[in-house]
Structure 1
Amino acid sequence: MKIKLLTGMLIFTLFLSNFGIISYADSYTATKIFYQPKMHNQNHNKFLNQHKKTQVEKLIHSYQNNFVSAINSGDFSLVSSDILPGSKICTVQKSTVKSYSERGIKERLISYKINSMSEFDNGDFRVVVNEKFYIQKGNQPLEYKEFENIYRVAKTNKGYKMSQILSVKILDSKTIKS
């Protein structure tokens, strides 16, 4: 019965596509949407959720590395493609890049780790990241700093972008003897 119903739906949708009522791609999609077993829908949703998380992870990776490059060169444009224009983080990080450049501060990313990631109802993400840096402030001794930063990542029509720093917590800070 199930196969006959599926075959009937497929023939009906192909019939509609032959008369230009729906395209072949639409008929295929319509057949899949209406007649997928529930388990397949759950697996598809898991795949979509994993795809979104992978995109956010790629953004965090790009942002971490590009922000350090922007700091070290004094060129905000190196990280601007990772940041939502006009957002709070855009304003703050643009100012930080300028200030650090003027004061001769350089950074080296040691490592970062995404501790958790959760999706808001609107498709944005809250991402908790542990970050470790060496920071050189002019001629002062080298510093080691570890942070736990919480970011808001916005879903845009151009993918995901950093939109806000929700919190910054210093977990460790020490001077490295030269």
Structure 2
Amino acid sequence: MARMTILTAPDSRLKRKALPVPAVTDAVRRLMEDMAETMYHAQGIGLAAPQVGVSQRVIVVDVQYCQKEGKRNPIFLANPEIIRKEGEIQWNEGCLSVPEHTAEVTRAAQIQVRGLDQHNREVIIAADEVMAVCFQHEIDHLDGVLFIDHLSSLKRSIILQKLKKKKQNTE
């Protein structure tokens, strides 16, 4: 497994809609494994392929990862889509592509997601609370949407200006 570089806003690649995966092949499985390794190393709970510069509809989620005990239980999905939404929840979200910033975002409280697992089988997953938020957040990435796009234009602009400034200072 290889660690990948995580893109940070305002990188334009994060704003592009990712392409569907025709089938989960060995190459897609390798991508999923590399994404998981990258996510764990960055101490995240979810990662979408566009965040590592790959325009494919692939995500990995592990909201139960316990770093202390090293227990990993990643959920790999290709072509995930939300097929049911219920309720509403406010969640303080952060993102590996928007480092050091968090904000309250309103999401569906319970969802069902359909996609292809790492064995190319169709699965349907019911999720609520943090897992529902995480799936919605990662699926947004596949459509070129960041959590800051759910904020007011003023809040989004302030965060993007800070990220641009930080990028300029590190180059």
TM-score if structure 1 supplies the norm length?
Answer: 0.23
Greater share of helix residues, 1 or 2? 1
Larger Rg: 1
